Structure 1
């Protein structure tokens, strides 16, 4: 909290705002920034706290809301969405190849008994996708996908990029740490679009539809920066992290 020795040393230079990334511009309505760092990861204490419902390793309510003021939880998605909608979520956000089979199993299970806990869901997935010596739990992609859907994480990434760019001074830097290929793709597309010396009329980038302009950004990292082996050794959850950075021109 604010009383921690680490935060106290910043005095009145530090402000904390409980807002999604999309609320950044509102929080800085009268200010501009030399730099913005967006860390799109989930805090380990959140993941490990059973009652938050993020983990398939401990029993807890199937919640997954980052902000409990949000109206929709994972329980509602799992018990109310059609099988086709669940399939789409598991495939697009979790990269789950067995998404259709898992969605059918969830619907069958909830028809017998409502799915309300993390272990109920994990067991349902494991019944139709046995582990068979795999290193990762078969419910890993499903839990990731539900968390991202509940919190509209990709929508928040795009809104956060737009908000961060709007408050950044010319010469300022925006750095973004992602943990999911979909997030990294959005950041890369955002950076490349701003760095191009042209805009495009329409949805397809072809030479005939390009209009010249000065680039709005300079990419500081053409390729994503990844953690070292030493860092992954200290913090295994950093293994999927990637960072991209850009300068506002």
Structure 2
């Protein structure tokens, strides 16, 4: 399945206000936003793309003198800005959170509860522990806590208990295996949503430190932007969006909130994965 960047035109239009500016795409993924940014900026403009996933870097096919790409986590953008001598020179920073269709549909990555594969769930599969390791060694209370906090799962305790009961007999190793445990134990399925959705989201967020890293990246972005520079964030669940909203509100002396936007009905029809997306735009004022 081809990855389709959500809110592509809206995000790039919101981000690029100076055609000669220096821009930062913090989530390169399949390169959709980066390609669109390069089409919009002038020959004097520049774009630095980064991605935590080394596979995304390997698949990058962009050849453009205005473009460079690095395999780092976006929580390290302050460090890379110093290394490249662009601290305080960035016109706009883009975050397109969540996982791409490439990651989701590669069964070996372990993100999908539909396509069976090993329980991995690491964005960078060279760093950290796998979902299999975490699920088979973590105590029941801690599993319940993660499901509740990062998945906003109403039945976190019940599902954590089901996971631990199952692993007393069998080691949990594959995605569909975990999904079936959740399906069997979940007492109330949400309309049009797989019962394992929140569980998989919670484990992925936890293993990849997604919320902590986003918070660090937003604070770093505030330091590397020029006055008038913009932060554009696309979120796919309420936890991310609330974090972005809190950041903007807590820094109201530095940033002006330019608005919150959702995909059109037509975009959602064409690309159903866009249905939960929320985009926020903030401009640095001091």
- What is the TM-score of this pair, normalised by structure 1? 0.86
> Does residue 235 of structure 1 match 2:250?
no
Judged with a 3 Å threshold, the aligned counterparts in structure 2 of structure 1 residues 2 and 100 are, in CA distance, closer, same or farther, namely closer
Following TM superposition, by how much is the alpha carbon of 1:134 offset from its aligned partner in structure 2, in angstroms?
Answer: 4.5
Query: What pairs up with 1:1-249 in 2 under 5 angstroms?
Result: 4=61, 7-8=62-63, 11-29=64-82, 30-31=85-86, 32-129=89-186, 134-195=191-252, 215-221=253-259, 224-249=260-285
Judged with a 3 Å threshold, the aligned counterparts in structure 2 of structure 1 residues 189 and 134 are, in CA distance, closer, same or farther, namely closer
Q: Where has structure 1 moved over 4 Å in runs of 4 or more?
A: 130-134
Following TM superposition, by how much is the alpha carbon of 1:131 offset from its aligned partner in structure 2, in angstroms?
Answer: 7.3
Q: For residues 57 and 138 of structure 1, what CA distance do their matches in structure 2 show?
A: 12
Contact 1:220 1:244 in 2 (8 A): yes
Q: Which runs of 5+ in 1 are unaligned?
A: 196-214
Q: Secondary structure at the match of 1:19?
A: coil
Q: For residues 184 and 119 of structure 1, what CA distance do their matches in structure 2 show?
A: 29
Following TM superposition, by how much is the alpha carbon of 1:3 offset from its aligned partner in structure 2, in angstroms?
Answer: 6.6
Q: For residues 166 and 60 of structure 2, what CA distance do their matches in structure 1 show?
A: 46
Judged with a 3 Å threshold, the aligned counterparts in structure 2 of structure 1 residues 3 and 166 are, in CA distance, closer, same or farther, namely closer
Following TM superposition, by how much is the alpha carbon of 1:130 offset from its aligned partner in structure 2, in angstroms?
Answer: 6.0
- What is the TM-score of this pair, normalised by structure 2? 0.75
Q: For residues 240 and 139 of structure 1, what CA distance do their matches in structure 2 show?
A: 17
Following TM superposition, by how much is the alpha carbon of 1:135 offset from its aligned partner in structure 2, in angstroms?
Answer: 2.4
Q: Which runs of 5+ in 2 are unaligned?
A: 1-57
1:161-191 Cα offsets, whole Å, 9 max, x none, are 0111111001111111111111111111111
Contact 1:17 1:27 in 2 (8 A): no
Say how many residue pairs are matched.
224
Cα RMSD for the two superposed structures: 1.6
1:99-141 Cα offsets, whole Å, 9 max, x none, are 1111001001111011010011011111112677942211111
